Amino acid sequence: MSTKTQLITSASIQTQVDVPCSITDKSRNTPRFVTFDNLCDNKEHIALVYSGDVWTPEQENIAPPLVRIHSKCLTGDTFGSRLCDCGQQLHHAQDCISRHGGVLLYMDQEGRGIGLYNKLKCYFLKATQGLDTYEANRHLNFPDDLRDYTPAAEMLLALNIERIKLLTNNPDKAKQITKHGIEITSLENTPTFETEENHDYLACKKKKTQHNLNIK
């Protein structure tokens, strides 16, 4: 069982700017895009902060913010790939958080940390050799998941957020965030966005990394 420790970080807010987004037009809640200095991995992670009275540790009577930690997926988020459910999860999170207030952490961790080119190599191996996602990673000499959520915890602390409701189906996110001293008051699952093309991908995540998915 992991031990909870208080994360020591020098991360701080760099820039804040409101950016209207079409996905949240119905809620009329414009997100504030936030960038950071001194994140431990020096990558360009960003936070989208949606208004709501949820922020400071001193406000114990106010509910903690709903937070989604979303790893960048160019193929799914931007081009609408049907081989994964990333785009649907992103848009669901934006809709929920824009209506209720909270934070979307958009992490520069393409392909579970292996990068876009290597992710596409994995797609090729899956298509030509019948490997599943994790087998393809190992074929390329990568572990199942390279993602480290320390920067996500640093971003939350820079935003003065220490207690959250976490929107995820991935138990490893909750485990890592809790380890760094962020209190998770509740877990909320994203829906299962199953299609014919992504069924095997989702089933593999449920079987091998215990994602909480409503799929057989």
Residues recognised as catalytic: 145, 147
What amino acid occupies position 160? N
What amino acid occupies position 113? G
Q: DSSP E strands: which ranges in the chain?
A: 12-18, 32-37, 46-50, 66-71, 102-107, 163-167, 183-188
Whose CA is closest to 190, among 178, 176, 173, 204?
173
Angle at 155 between CA 149 and CA 159, to 5 degrees: 150
Q: DSSP E strands: which ranges in 62-212?
A: 66-71, 102-107, 163-167, 183-188
Question: What are the residues facing 16 on neighbouring strands?
Answer: 34
**By three-state DSSP, how is residue 41 classified?**
coil
Six token digits for residue 13: 């807010």
